[in-house]
């Protein structure tokens, strides 16, 4: 029971749960992990409800109540401990299952149609075992809805999860799909357009923690990249200590993951794009991680490259290794 409860609580951080229920909190000045806002448990006029994202606990200075996510549900929904656990299970599990069904469908589709594999090859991802391990799939668009409805999901559920747009179309169309997992549950899907549509798409829900953190957290030296294709080529080249925030900004929960190990060294390997955007983002993150007390190194890729294009252009593991050795600190 204890381990199950921990898993339940880790599946959704308290802050995220509250935000999903429309709580607005502001980061407390001078802290990284404290948020404050109006108390959802009593009539509050002055923000007195504090959330600590590192401890995953809340405390209200107005009504004097505090605790973890389950305690919050007990108080908010007026349920017993046991009922609260069941309530949370039901609230969190169905979407995970729906996303698992969706990801499995896209995974089958990858092998039914040539274009997904062609795109992966073009991006330098060719290891079949890795493609399987990452659960990569392909969304052609237009056929997800009948598949999921045949499994018993209502249209309303699909709309709610964002898999179907309000116009009734598949959210993912002509995209290579990466499932984002957390504690064995799929929490989101990332779709990379293979056509002319906007390149990146996530479902309108949390992207979860750092990508594949369960396997990466064991490493003291961690490589942080912007995109999942960067991660895929690096894993393929043997750098299994690579993780990804899907973008250049870390959420407080992702930052906390990096900070779990106070001796951790983070190698930031972002895009070296022409307009400096990648470098600026990397510099900002470097400052932020440095302030959080982590050892940080900035990996300098050749101009115009990201880790993915670097490998596509022919770089080998030892070339990247060399860049890691040359990486500079603040
Ligand atoms: Zn209160």
- Residues whose Cβ atom is located within 5 A of ion ligand 1: 39, 41-42, 60, 62-63
Residue 52 buriedness (CB in 10 A; 0-12 / 13-18 / 19+): middle
Question: 53 C-alpha vs ligand 1 centroid, how far in Å?
Answer: 18
Q: From ligand 1's centre to the CA of 67, what distance in Å?
A: 12
Q: Is residue 225 part of a domain?
A: yes
Rg (CA), the chain: 21
Instruction: Report the CATH number that the domain containing residue 232 is assigned in CATH.
Output: 3.40.1360.10
Q: Out of 78, 109, 138, pick the residue that ends a domain.
A: 78
Opening angle at CA 172, ends 167 and 175, nearest 5: 150
Full-model pTM: 0.75
Same domain for 227 and 313? yes
**Domain region containing 43:** 2-78
Alpha carbon of 41 to ligand 1 centroid (Å): 5
pLDDT at 169 over 90: yes
- Residues 304 and 221 both lie in one domain: yes
Domain-located, residue 219: yes
**pLDDT digit string, tens, across residues 38-96:** 999 999 999 999 999 999 999 999 999 999 999 999 999 888 998 888 778 767 766 88
> Is residue 85 a part of any domain in this protein?
no
Q: What is the CATH number of the domain that holds 63?
A: 3.90.580.10
CB 327 within 8 A of CB 297: yes
Residue 195 CA to residue 184 CA, distance in Å, equals 31
Whether 86 maps to a domain, the answer reads no
Ligand 1 centroid to residue 18 C-alpha, Å: 14
Take residue 63 and report the two structure tokens written for it: 């009504």
Taking CA 267 as the corner, what is the angle to CA 261 and CA 270, rounded to the nearest 5 degrees?
135
Collapsing DSSP states into helix, strand and coil, what is residue 97? helix
Query: 50 with 107, same domain?
Result: no
| Helix runs in the chain, H state only | 2-11, 14-20, 69-77, 81-112, 114-122, 128-133, 144-150, 155-161, 213-216, 228-236, 252-259, 277-291, 307-312, 317-326
130 & 194 share domain: yes
Percentage of the chain modeled with pLDDT above 70:
98
Q: What are phi and psi of 174, to 5 degrees?
A: 50, 55
**pLDDT, tens digit, 9 for 90 and up, residues 246-274:** 988 888 888 889 988 889 999 999 988 76
262 beta partners? none
Q: How many domains does the chain have?
A: 3
The rounded Å distance from CA 82 to ligand 1 centre is: 23
């Amino acid at each position: 029971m204890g381990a199950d409860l921990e898993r339940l609580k880790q599946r959704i951080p308290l802050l995220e749960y509250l935000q999903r229920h429309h709580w607005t909190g502001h980061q407390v000045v001078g802290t990284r992990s404290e948020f404050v806002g109006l108390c959802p448990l009593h009539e509050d006029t002055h923000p007195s409800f504090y959330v600590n994202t590192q401890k995953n606990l809340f405390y209200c200075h107005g009504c004097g109540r505090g605790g973890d996510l389950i305690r919050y549900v007990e108080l908010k929904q007026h349920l017993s401990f046991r009922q609260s656990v069941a309530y949370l299970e039901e609230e969190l599990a169905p979407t995970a299952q729906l996303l698992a069904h969706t990801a499995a469908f896209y995974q089958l589709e990858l092998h039914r149609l040539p274009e997904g594999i062609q795109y992966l090859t073009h991006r330098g991802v060719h290891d079949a075992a890795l493609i399987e391990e990452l659960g990569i799939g392909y969304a052609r668009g237009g056929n997800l809805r009948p598949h999921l409805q045949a499994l018993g999901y209502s249209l309303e559920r699909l709309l709610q999860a964002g898999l179907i747009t309000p116009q009734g179309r598949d959210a993912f169309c002509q995209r290579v799909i990466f499932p984002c997992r957390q504690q064995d549950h799929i929490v989101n899907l990332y779709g990379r357009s293979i056509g002319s549509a906007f390149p990146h798409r996530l479902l309108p829900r949390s992207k979860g923690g750092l990508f594949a953190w369960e396997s990466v957290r064991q490493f003291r030296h961690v490589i942080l990249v912007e995109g999942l294709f960067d991660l895929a080529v690096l894993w393929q080249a043997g750098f299994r200590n690579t993780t990804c925030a899907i973008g250049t900004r870390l959420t407080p929960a992702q930052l906390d993951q990096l900070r779990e190990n106070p001796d951790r060294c983070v190698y930031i390997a972002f895009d070296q794009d022409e307009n400096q955007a990648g470098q600026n983002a990397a510099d900002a993150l470097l400052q932020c991680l440095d302030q959080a007390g982590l050892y940080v190194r900035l990996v300098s890729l050749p101009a115009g490259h990201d880790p993915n294009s670097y490998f596509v252009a022919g770089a080998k593991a030892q070339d990247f290794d060399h860049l890691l050795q040359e990486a500079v600190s603040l």
